[in-house]
Amino acid sequence: MNTIIDNLSNRLAHRLRLERDSRGWSLADLAERSGVSKATISKIERAEVSPTAVVLVRLASAFDLTLAGLMLRAEGQGERLSRAADQQVWRDPETGYLRRQVFSRPDNPIEIVRVEMPAKQQVTLPASSYARIRQTLWVLSGALVIIEAGERHELGTGDCLGFGPPAETTFANETSAPCVYVVALARS
């Protein structure tokens, strides 16, 4: 799995540079639009550091993409059949959050992502990461707290939550065991 993660990190670095270059933006332009420092962007583009989920969301939003859209572009064209061995996996270096792109194709508005959130970890994503998508989360094992626009939802194994309008959202595993959940999203 590390080979897949390393390969995706390199492709993400290349994709970010390609997205920036295709718009004719300098590092300063992207830094201003994303709120991510020029130095950090430069290190990410050279694959010297792996970006956190929050940083990736900020960069994707600056390009008017969702995180899933950016990952899709980095991963390349999808096939109709998504074999487990070929699914792209990415680990957030800050929290250990593990994201597996189960299904995603440019010609299909549906995406499926499997996430493993380590114990006592959380990720907060800005409202911009939910622009132009609708999503539902289903907990496969463990417990997860979602704080969406200040509203707290406590989910256990088997629970499912449909998200509301775009809002800052925190995904928190407050327990001492990992939590595994699936996110199904539709691009609008």
pLDDT in tens, 93-105: 999 999 998 987 7
Q: Give the pLDDT score at 22.
A: 87
Q: What is the mean pLDDT of residues 115-131?
A: 91
| Per-residue pLDDT at 172 exceeds 60 | yes
How would residue 163 be classed by pLDDT, with cut points 50, 70 and 90? very high
C-alpha pair distances (Å), 54 with each of 16, 46, 155, 176, 178: 15, 19, 22, 23, 20
Instruction: For domain 84-187, give the CATH number.
Output: 2.60.120.10
Q: Give the pLDDT score at 1.
A: 43
Q: Using one digit for the tens of pLDDT, what is the confidence trace for 124-148?
A: 998 887 877 899 999 999 999 999 9
How would residue 88 be classed by pLDDT, with cut points 50, 70 and 90? confident
Q: Give the pLDDT score at 77.
A: 55
Q: What is the mean pLDDT of residues 37-50?
A: 93
- CB contact set of 13 (below 8 Å; sequence gap of 6+): 44, 45, 46, 47
| Per-residue pLDDT at 107 exceeds 90 | no
CATH 2.60.120.10 residue window(s) in the chain: 84-187
CATH architecture of 2-75: Orthogonal Bundle (1.10)
| Per-residue pLDDT at 110 exceeds 90 | no
